[in-house]
Amino acid sequence: MKILIVGSGGREHALAWKAAQSPLASEVLVAPGNAGTAREPRIRNIPVEATDIDGLIAVAQDLRVDLTIVGPEAPLVAGIVDRFAKLGLACLGPTAAAARLEGSKSFAKEFLARHRIPTARHETFTDVAAAARYLKDHPGAHVVKADGLASGKGVVVAEEEKTALEAATSMLNGEFGDAGRRIVIEERLIGVEASFIVLADGLDYVAFPTSEDHKRRDDGDRGPNTGGMGAFSPASAVDAPLEAVIRAHIIEPTLRGLKDDGHHYRGFLYAGLMLTADGPKVLEFNCRFGDPETQPIMMRLRSDLVALTHAAATGQLGKVALEIDPRPALCVVLAAPGYPAAPRTGDPIGGLDATDPECRVFHAGTRDKDGQVVSSGGRVLGITSLGATLEEAREHVYRRLQGITLDGALYRRDIGRRPYGVRP
Ligand code: AMP
Ligand code: GLY
């Protein structure tokens, strides 16, 4: 089978690397890919952007692609799956209507409330005066969110009314363009976060191992929210009984709710959870795999990714069981200076050729410039390793990281080092 992976980040490098190991894959194409996917055996980059749906259709038709797997949310929200389906092309992911679970936070909150799935209390606003009144009447910490897609950056966790109002004002005044013309203000939840990602086909689903992201840029969970600065799997605070609760109270009601609302949800579904004293609650849905969660999860996945995604795309997911490496895996993201607000790009990256059998260096924002790998985005690399223990995986990753050079690079020193496993 010929597989096309859409996207250019660390997630797509990890998905392509895993797909290329499948005996079912004759070739793996990545559009547009990065300098890392360009260097992998059995993987070929195709210079078409992830949002160029016409271009991707032409690639799928001309190169006779058997299955397209979409990495990022933007093409899903823009309807890539609907467009491919009309032409009889297999593309794994939800339709545009179902992808609104990620594409609109107010849509997701309304869906959660209507189907009685646990989440933070919220209100939706389109004007500053109403938001200001609400914040005055409801003292305490709030989270202010741009309604539309903002690459994980349109969320401000505010301890005080003043910070919340500033965030609401700047979003409503166009900080994120149309994505912030509507905002959601919700109560701040206290607890430990976990990512729960499944591959679904209607009501059938298989759950990937749990994982834990690090959204804030700086050590100690400080600094601005980012797309994610590192992740490990399994999540520290999800044991088997809690996983059963998450399946029964969150994942299954979500798939049933989607079905009841007339959607056949096919593709990856990512529930970002807060494990609170009142049980797990949904912070957000994503209609795709997580980045950087994909990197440690793909290192742990022993099952054939092509067989798995093909089963989901052809109505055979009910017959699949996942095989997972019991060892934990951890990924640390190396980001460009200035990330997330204004990352500097074009800097040479050194030390990539060293081989370390324990570690994989997944590329994200990288490209080739005259034979040299240079930075081309905010998150540049995701150094990922398995280990007998989480601590061992951490040691491998940080040791490998010392050998990589990128002027002014940012990375967190404390991935996998929170006071883990303590849930309220
Ligand atoms: P979201 O994109 O909605 O997942 O938000 C990004 C990050 O903001 C989450 O991973 C949390 O760290 C934080 N966050 C979002 N909503 C809440 C909430 N209601 N309470 C506390 N933190 C939140
Ligand atoms: N790491 C969070 C996300 O992929 O949305």
**143 DSSP β-pair partners:** 157, 186
| d(CA 270, ligand 2 centre) in Å | 9
Domain 329-401 has CATH 3.40.50.300: no
> How far apart, in whole angstroms, are the C-alpha atoms of residue 137 and residue 141?
12
Q: From the CB of 188, is ligand 1 less than 6 Å away?
A: yes
Structure tokens given for 369: 């410039």
| CATH of region 192-319, choose from 3.40.920.10, 3.30.470.20, 1.20.1440.230, 1.10.1530.10 | 3.30.470.20
| d(CA 225, ligand 1 centre) in Å | 9
| CATH of region 2-94, choose from 3.60.150.10, 3.40.50.740, 3.40.50.20, 3.40.50.720 | 3.40.50.20
Q: How many CA atoms lie within 13 A of 357 on its CB side?
A: 0
Which single residue is written with the structure tokens 């795999």?
289
Q: From the CB of 183, is ligand 1 less than 6 Å away?
A: no
| d(CA 306, ligand 1 centre) in Å | 32
| d(CA 112, ligand 2 centre) in Å | 19
> How far apart, in whole angstroms, are the C-alpha atoms of residue 109 and residue 252?
17
What count of residues does the chain have? 424
Residue 291 CA: nearest ligand 2 atom is: 4
Burial of 357 (0-12, 13-18, 19+ CB in 10 A): exposed
Amino acid at 157: V
Q: From the CB of 11, is ligand 1 less than 6 Å away?
A: no
Q: From the CB of 155, is ligand 1 less than 6 Å away?
A: yes
Query: pTM (2 decimals)?
Result: 0.95
pLDDT, residue 357, reads 78
Q: Which architecture does CATH list for 127-181?
A: 2-Layer Sandwich (3.30)
> How far apart, in whole angstroms, are the C-alpha atoms of residue 297 and residue 327?
11
Nearest CA to 32 out of 42, 47, 43, 20 is that of 47
> How far apart, in whole angstroms, are the C-alpha atoms of residue 156 and residue 153?
8
Q: At a CB cut-off of 8 Å and minimum separation 6, what does 62 contact?
A: none
Numbered ranges of CATH 3.30.470.20 in the chain: 192-319
Numbered ranges of CATH 3.90.600.10 in the chain: 329-401
Structure tokens given for 4: 């096309």
Which residue of 193, 270, 412 sits with most ligand 2 atoms within 8 Å of its CB, as the best mutation to test the pocket?
A: 270
Q: How many CA atoms lie within 13 A of 15 on its CB side?
A: 32
Q: How many CB atoms lie within 10 A of CB 342?
A: 9
Numbered ranges of CATH 3.30.1490 in the chain: 127-181
Q: Given the DSSP bridges, would you call strands 67-70 and 2-7 parallel, antiparallel or unpaired? A: parallel
> How far apart, in whole angstroms, are the C-alpha atoms of residue 77 and residue 93?
10
- The per-residue pLDDT string of the chain (424 residues; one tens digit each, 9 = 90 and over) reads 999 999 999 999 999 999 999 999 999 999 999 999 999 999 999 999 999 999 999 999 999 999 999 999 999 999 999 999 999 999 999 999 999 999 999 999 999 999 999 999 999 999 999 999 999 999 989 999 999 988 767 899 999 999 999 999 999 998 988 889 999 999 999 999 999 999 999 999 999 999 999 999 999 999 988 999 999 999 989 999 999 999 999 999 999 999 999 999 999 999 999 999 999 999 999 999 999 999 999 999 999 999 999 999 999 998 888 999 999 999 999 999 999 999 999 999 999 988 887 899 999 999 999 999 999 999 999 999 999 999 999 999 999 999 999 999 999 999 998 765 555 4
